[in-house]
C-alpha cells in the first residue's frame, strides 16, 4: 500500500479539531441548550445561554482530549480509530494533549461555577468525570456495563442547562436527562454489533454478551423501547406542547421499529440501520425540545 502523500494527510488544524471530537461536542451542547429551554421556556436569559454554550463546548472538548490520550493504545488496535492523531503518530506528545484537556476542562468548569452558578459547574464536572474517569479509565476495558453507566456523561449537559437557566434541576429536565441516558445503550450497542470483530480484537466488552448475538440484539430492541416511556415522562413533567409531545413519542416508536429486526436476526445490516438511525433520532429530539421552548416562549396560541 502506498504511503499517504503530504497533501492527503490531515492538516495539523484538522488533527487538533479531531481531538476535540466536534460531533460529540455539538451533541453535548445541543443537549445542554435543550435542557436550558425545557427548564424555563418563558424567560430565557440569552446571555447566560451563550456562556453555557461556550463553556459546555470547552468542557466537552477537554474531556475528549483526555479520552484520546487514555485510549491511544486501544485506538491503535482498532481499524475504526487507528488513524486518529495520537495512534497515527501525527501528534506525538500525548502529555501535551492530556495537559490541554485538563486545563480546558478545569477552566470551563470553574468559569461555569463563577459566571453562572455552582450547580452548573458541578453538573458539567459530573459529566466530565463520568466520561473520562468512570467510563474511559475504569469501566471501558472491564465491563459490558461500561456504556450504560457511562451514559450519564451525555445526560449531565441537560442538568447543566437547567441549572444555568433556573439554578436547579427541574422535573422535566430530569426526565429529559433520563431519556438521553437511555438513548446511549441502543446507540452504542448497535455500533458494537456492527463492529463486533473490531471490538473483540481490541478486547473491549462492549456488548451485553459478546458471544451471544441474539441476546445482544434483543437487548438493543428492549433498550430502544424504553425510550417510549421516557418520552411520556418528559411530556408529563415538562412544559411540553402537544405537537412536540407527539413528536417525542413518534420518534421513540420509530426507533423501536428500526431496531426490531435485531430481535430475531442480529445481522450487521440490521445493526447498521439501528446505529445510523440513533444519531438523527437524538438530533431530532434535541431540535424538538428547543423548538418547543422557543414556541412556548413566543406565546404561540394553540400549543398548550
What are 248-273's pLDDT values in tens digits?
999 999 999 999 999 999 999 999 99
CA distances from 225 to 14, 112, 220, 252, 254 (A): 38, 35, 9, 7, 10
Residue 3 has pLDDT above 80, yes or no: no
Residue 7 has pLDDT above 50, yes or no: no
Q: Which range, of 55-59, 89-93, 122-126, 268-272, averages the lowest pLDDT?
A: 89-93
Q: Cα(109)–Cα(115) distance, rounded to whole angstroms?
A: 10
Residue ranges of alpha helices (H) inside the chain are 12-19, 22-39, 46-70, 72-77, 94-115, 118-129, 146-150, 152-166, 171-194, 196-202, 213-225, 227-237, 242-259, 268-298
User: Could you tell me the pTM of the whole model?
Assistant: 0.94
| Most confident stretch, 228-232, 239-243, 299-303 | 228-232
Residue 9 has pLDDT above 80, yes or no: no
For the domain covering 23-298, report its CATH number: 1.10.600
Residue 279 has pLDDT above 60, yes or no: yes
Residue 2 has pLDDT above 60, yes or no: no
What percentage of the chain has pLDDT greater than the value 90? 81
Quote the mean pLDDT of the chain.
93
With bands split at pLDDT 50, 70 and 90, how would you rate the model's confidence at 301? Answer: low
Q: Cα(17)–Cα(35) distance, rounded to whole angstroms?
A: 26
Amino acid at each position: 500500500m502506498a504511503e499517504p502523500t503530504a497533501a492527503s494527510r490531515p492538516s495539523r488544524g484538522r488533527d487538533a479539531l479531531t481531538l476535540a471530537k466536534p460531533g460529540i461536542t455539538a451533541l453535548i451542547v445541543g443537549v445542554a441548550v435543550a435542557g436550558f429551554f425545557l427548564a424555563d421556556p418563558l424567560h430565557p436569559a440569552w446571555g447566560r445561554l451563550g456562556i453555557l454554550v461556550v463553556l459546555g463546548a470547552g468542557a466537552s472538548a477537554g474531556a475528549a482530549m483526555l479520552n484520546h490520550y487514555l485510549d491511544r493504545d486501544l485506538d491503535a488496535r482498532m481499524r475504526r480509530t487507528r488513524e486518529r492523531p495520537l495512534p497515527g503518530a501525527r501528534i506525538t506528545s500525548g502529555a501535551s494533549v492530556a495537559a490541554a484537556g485538563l486545563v480546558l476542562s478545569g477552566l470551563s468548569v470553574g468559569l461555569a461555577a463563577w459566571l453562572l452558578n455552582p450547580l452548573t459547574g458541578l453538573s458539567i464536572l459530573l459529566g466530565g468525570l463520568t466520561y473520562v474517569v468512570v467510563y474511559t479509565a475504569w469501566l471501558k476495558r472491564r465491563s459490558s456495563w461500561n456504556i450504560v453507566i457511562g451514559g450519564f456523561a451525555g445526560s449531565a449537559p441537560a442538568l447543566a442547562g437547567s441549572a444555568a437557566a433556573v439554578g436547579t434541576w427541574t422535573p422535566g429536565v430530569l426526565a429529559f436527562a433520563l431519556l438521553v441516558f437511555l438513548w446511549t445503550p441502543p446507540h452504542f450497542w448497535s455500533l458494537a454489533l456492527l463492529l463486533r470483530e473490531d471490538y473483540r480484537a481490541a478486547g473491549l466488552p462492549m456488548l451485553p454478551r459478546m458471544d451471544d448475538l441474539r441476546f445482544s440484539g434483543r437487548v438493543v430492541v428492549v433498550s430502544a423501547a424504553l425510550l417510549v416511556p421516557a418520552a411520556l415522562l418528559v411530556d408529563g413533567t415538562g412544559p411540553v406542547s402537544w405537537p412536540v409531545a407527539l413528536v417525542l413519542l413518534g420518534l421513540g416508536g420509530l426507533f423501536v421499529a428500526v431496531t426490531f429486526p435485531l430481535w430475531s436476526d442480529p445481522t450487521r445490516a440490521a445493526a447498521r440501520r439501528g446505529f445510523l438511525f440513533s444519531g438523527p433520532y437524538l438530533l431530532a429530539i434535541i431540535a424538538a425540545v428547543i423548538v418547543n421552548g422557543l414556541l412556548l416562549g413566543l406565546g404561540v396560541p394553540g400549543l398548550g
